[in-house]
Structure 1
Amino acid sequence: MSNFRHPDFSQSRFAAAPDARFEPAPASGVLPEGFFSTTNLPTYVRVGGAWKLPREPRMDSAIVLDPDGVPRVLEGRYVQAGQPIVVGLAEDGSGGIYVHAAGFWGEAEAGPEGEFKFMSSEVSREKPTDYHAMARMLVEERARGGHVIWVVGPAVLHSRGRDTLAWFIEQGYVNVLFGGNAVAVHDVESATMGTTLGMNGRGVPVEGGHAFHMRAINRVRAAGGIREAVAAGVVTRGIMHTLVTQGVPYILAGSIRDDGPLPDT
């Protein structure tokens, strides 16, 4: 097992850094717009002139300040109105937040791509698919007034298939859509941030992108749900927007570990 190295906070860049900024949660389950989204790397927060490691660390969450002055990682859905939330985007310590990417001996400094190593595989091509046969079935089902149920996963977003699926919805080839929470989350992320899981249309990670899906979730929660976000103009395109505007029902299922369930899940 690798040895963990804490940062040397005696360095001038850390000693001269300001305390982290905190803003109150505007409502229960809703984070301030500029909240800091945690990663899978050790993260320190400067509070009262001292660098502190938050309690209960986990990724894709926020950092709150408990009454005893110790920061704690907390999922956005559990945040209570008025709780002080760490805000800021810089991870280099300049804003009172430091993400320690090289804490283990022999571990190189991580760049933006390090946040997405678990997404580095290509879309599976294990089984051949007869798309011509599928297309014929869809056309026949629509012609005879059948009921077509689509069951999709987030791969449709990561493989850049959202515009195509939106077209199928508009053309009446989708009568109901079943999907996981991640389908809606990354579709809304694409609609609001221009990325899916922090990657642009070429599949390249963007700086700070690891937090984009959490920011998308927060905007939907602030609106009250997906339909409300569409009505308010927060979500203006994509799969969920098309489902809502076309009046096509959908069911979103959550998982045990969902770090950011939408109100619709």
Structure 2
Amino acid sequence: MTVSREVELSGHIIDSGMMQACFGAIMDLGGSFEVDEFRIGRSEVEESYARLTVFADTEPELRSIVHELHQNGANPSHPVDASLEPAPDDQVVPPDFYSTTNHPTEIRYDGEWLSVDRIEMDCAVVVEEGASDGGDDVDGSGGPRAYTKVLNGIEADDSVVTGETGIRVRPPERPRDREGAFGFMQGGVSSERPSESTITKVAEAIAETKREGGSVLAVCGPALIHSGAREDLARLVRDGYVDMLSAGNGFAVHDLERDLYGTSLGMDTESLDHPRKGHKHHIYTISEIIRAGGIREAVDEELVESGVMYECVANDRPYVLAGSIRDDGPLPDTITDAVEAQNAIREQAHEADLVLMLSTLLHSVAVGNCLSSTTRVICVDINPATVTQLLDRGSAQAVGMVTDIGTFVPILAEQLLDE
């Protein structure tokens, strides 16, 4: 005896690969399917539609298949309201809670579809009734609201979505029109594309984001300073092409060391010489910034007069420095509490419209985990594993460029600032 479930797909399901992914998932998990209805969109704007009946030998096997289909954008043909259960305690979710993807998501509540605010992967979905005074409602309407919460943010009695029913996921589709500034953002990782022409397209995408009033977040690793790209990134911050910065203690120390001592991790980034006692410069830098009371205080005292961190302070560009177990010092501005650092990164990620991930694996993955799949991401690293790991973690919207960061940033700055 078999069990079955009816699901449907809509949108540009053929050229986006959604239909192929769903068919493959059903067969890989031991199920079968029949196509009950199939309508093909015959123009660039017309959507396609497919309705399938999915079969499996047992109910658990069917649930597993439907769960996989759900992640790929297939939804039940006859939806019911989402299941809600109260959280039993602070930081404790009900069993079988729904764990989010990073795709735009809706939940069905009282017969209506609610968009889930602040969508990101690996979170719970909480539904709350609006207060008469507007409460936490986004629009102050007093209506119900659905939004994500990380597990450590769950509070006792939060109404948490459980199971898979009453949930609709909409993965971004590959656009049919590939023209425009974002037309190049179609395809994974490559070291084969001509670097300069690709950087030109990245510059056009950043410029378009800024023209539309969007925000650009730069996620930076210490190699950017060490490779000699510091001054060009500082120019991008100063001229408003970078609105926010996310980095670690090491990036800021390298940047500040370059201002105070002319070196990065003891090396002169122009002559490539190693001055006498240069290996001590990074710890001397940390000491001087601590003595001043922090980066902003060091800028105010004119102790620091150039660089990326200087431009962030001078131009009120917010930055998050997230610490790690390896950090020397650390700087007073570095957030050493991991949960506090995650929350600060999350706030930046939700504000960003375009993210530049520049030569840092750990911070790129950390920020990528907080991003919606609709946020444009460009990841640049000399190591292709950095880019592929980001995509493997679920940031499928990322475009990867395998090249030297010391080449990428200066050309990008030239394209944006000098033409």
TM-score by length of 2: 0.33
State the alpha-carbon separation in 2 of the partners of residues 182 and 188 from structure 1.
10
SS at match of 1:233: coil
Aligned residue in 1 for 2:348: none
In 1, Cα distance between equivalents of 2:207 and 2:253: 29
Take 1:143 and 1:253, find their aligned partners in 2: how far apart are those partners? 30
How many Å apart are 1:170 and its aligned residue? 1.3
1:167 aligns with 2:217: no
Alpha-carbon spacing, 1:127–1:179, altered in 2? closer, same or farther (3 Å): farther
Aligned counterpart for 2:216 among listed residues 138, 141, 148: 148
Which secondary structure does the structure 2 equivalent of 1:149 belong to?
A: strand
Residue 254 of structure 1 pairs with residue 362 of structure 2: no
Give the CA deviation at 1:127: 3.7
* Runs of at least 5 residues in structure 1 that lack an aligned partner in the other structure: 1-125
**Structure 2 CA distance, aligned partners of 1:181 and 1:204?**
24
The amino acid of 1:261's aligned partner reads P
1:5-35 alpha-carbon deviations (Å, 9 max, x no partner): xxxxxxxxxxxxxxxxxxxxxxxxxxxxxxx
CA RMSD of aligned residues (A): 1.3
Amino acid at match of 1:231: D
How far apart are 1:205 and its partner, in Å?
1.3
Alignment-derived partner of residue 213 in structure 1 = 282
Cα distance in structure 2, aligned partners of 1:225 and 1:170: 20
Query: What is residue 237 of structure 1 aligned with on the other side?
Result: 306
Aligned to 1:24: none
Aligned length: 140
Residue 295 of structure 2 aligns to which amino acid in structure 1? I
Residues 105-148 of structure 1, C-alpha deviations (whole Å, 9 max, x = no match): xxxxxxxxxxxxxxxxxxxxx94652112111111011111011
Letter in structure 1 aligned against 2:296: R
Could you say what secondary structure the match of 2:321 adopts? strand
Distance in 1 separating the partners of 2:259 and 2:326? 24
Distance 1:141 1:172 in 2: 12
CA distance in 1, matches of 2:299, 2:328: 22
Letter in 2 for 1:206: P
Please name the residue that 1:264 is paired with. 333
SS at match of 1:173: coil
**How far 1:186 sits from its partner (Å)?**
0.7
Report the equivalent of 1:182.
250
Number of the residue aligned with 1:202: 271
1:151 alignment partner, SS class: strand
SS in 2 for 1:150: strand
Which deviations, in whole Å up to 9, do the C-alpha atoms of 1:207-252 show, x marking residues without a partner? Answer: 1100001111100000000000000111011111100000000000
Distance of 2:258 and 2:202 partners within structure 1: 27
TM value normalised by structure 1: 0.51
Greater relative contact order structure (CA < 8 Å, 6+ sep):
1
- Identify, as 1 or 2, the structure richer in strand: 2
Take 1:259 and 1:246, find their aligned partners in 2: how far apart are those partners? 27
Unaligned 5+ residue runs, structure 2? 1-189, 335-419
- Distance (whole Å) between structure 2 residues aligned to residue 257 and residue 135 of structure 1: 34
**Runs of 4+ residues deviating >4 angstroms:** none
- Measure the CA separation in 1 of the matches of 2:191 and 2:290: 38
SS of 2:245's equivalent? strand
Distance in 2, Cα, partners of 1:219 & 1:252: 18
What per-residue deviation string (whole Å, max 9, x for no partner) do you get for residues 62-99 of structure 1? xxxxxxxxxxxxxxxxxxxxxxxxxxxxxxxxxxxxxx
Secondary structure, counterpart of 1:135 in structure 2: helix
1:131 aligns with 2:211: no
